[in-house]
């Protein structure tokens, strides 16, 4: 091979070695499908009396009465509850004692642990001297009468169907301004708004306690 030919060969080799290395393996990308809130359903049921995360078999939405007071959410978060002359101060003070109590199935001890019906049972005994059933479905069946949403007053009960079996499985105590206190399975005793998407969807009935002390 001539000297000129070797120079061409060396030049070609140098150009080839300078090219970037490309892998022959393709990279696969996992794709995730994000669904809106109403389509995200946990299909598992629960026998707990307080299952605030289980799905409902139907997507029923019922109207919630409009507020007649000027409470705002951040005031509730700070527990700065404004009370009027007609408010049952004993009820509010008792419920404030329970706020923050962690959730504990089949328990009903303020500050230590409680489920939804346990908290309601203890509060009604302390405030009204009324002995309630230990189960939310029994409370509605035996201790209460169903009322219109527009008739809700502080101290009334609100019931929810949160399990896939279609039975009442959660209860809370209504305050005012669409707020209610309940024992959430994930957050403990807390205040929520009936107009929140989850509670509006799983709402079952408003009821007034008729059992006498």
pLDDT at 67 over 50: no
Residue 69 has pLDDT above 70, yes or no: no
Q: For residues 112-146, b (16+ Cβ closer than 10 Å) or e, as one string?
A: ebbbbbbbbbbbbebbbebebbebbbebbeebbee
Domain 37-209 has CATH 3.90.1720.10: yes
Taking only the tens place, the pLDDT of each residue in 103-130 is: 999 999 999 999 999 999 999 999 999 9
The predicted structure's pLDDT at residue 62: 43
Please give the Cα distance from 194 to 65 (Å, whole number).
9
pLDDT band for 79, please (50, 70, 90 cuts). Answer: very low
Reference 213, options 116, 121, 132; nearest CA is 132
Question: What's residue 7's pLDDT?
Answer: 59
pTM of the shown model: 0.66
Res. 159: pLDDT tops 60: yes
- How many other CB atoms are there within 10 angstroms of residue 107's CB atom? 15
Residue 1 has pLDDT above 80, yes or no: no
pLDDT in tens, 3-14: 655 555 555 555
Residues with Cβ within 8 Å of 78's Cβ and at least 6 positions away in sequence, in order, are: none
Question: Percent of the chain, pLDDT > 90?
Answer: 55
Q: What's the whole-number mean pLDDT along residues 89-107?
A: 94
pLDDT score recorded for residue 86: 87
60 — pLDDT class (breaks 50, 70, 90): very low
Which listed residue (108, 110, 182, 204) is catalytic? 182
Could you confirm whether 182 is annotated as catalytic? yes
| Pairwise pLDDT comparison (84 vs 44), residue with the higher score | 84
Choice among 108, 144, 170, 204 that is catalytic: 170
Task: Give me the residue spans of the domains in the chain.
Answer: 37-209
Give the pLDDT band (50/70/90) at residue 57.
Answer: very low
Catalytic site residue from 108, 116, 144, 204: 116
């Amino acid at each position: 091979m001539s000297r000129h030919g070797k120079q061409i060969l060396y030049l070609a080799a140098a150009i080839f070695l300078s090219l970037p290395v490309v892998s022959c393996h393709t990279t696969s990308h996992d794709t995730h499908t994000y669904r809106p809130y109403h389509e995200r359903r946990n299909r598992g049921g629960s026998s707990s009396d307080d299952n605030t995360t289980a799905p409902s078999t139907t997507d029923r939405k019922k109207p919630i009465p409009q507020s007649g007071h000027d409470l705002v959410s951040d005031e509730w978060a700070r527990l700065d509850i404004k009370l009027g002359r007609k408010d049952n101060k004993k009820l509010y003070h008792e419920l404030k004692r329970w706020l923050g109590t962690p959730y504990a199935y089949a328990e009903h001890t303020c500050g230590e642990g409680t489920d939804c019906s346990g908290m309601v049972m203890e509060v009604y005994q302390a405030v009204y001297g009324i002995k309630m059933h230990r189960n939310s479905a029994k409370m509605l069946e035996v201790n209460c009468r169903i009322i219109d949403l527009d008739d809700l007053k502080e101290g009334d009960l609100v019931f929810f169907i949160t399990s896939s079996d279609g039975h009442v499985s959660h209860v809370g105590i209504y305050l005012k301004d669409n707020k209610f206190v309940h024992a959430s399975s994930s957050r403990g005793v807390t205040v929520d708004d009936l107009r929140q998407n989850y509670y509006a969807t799983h709402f079952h009935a408003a009821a007034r306690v008729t059992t006498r002390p």
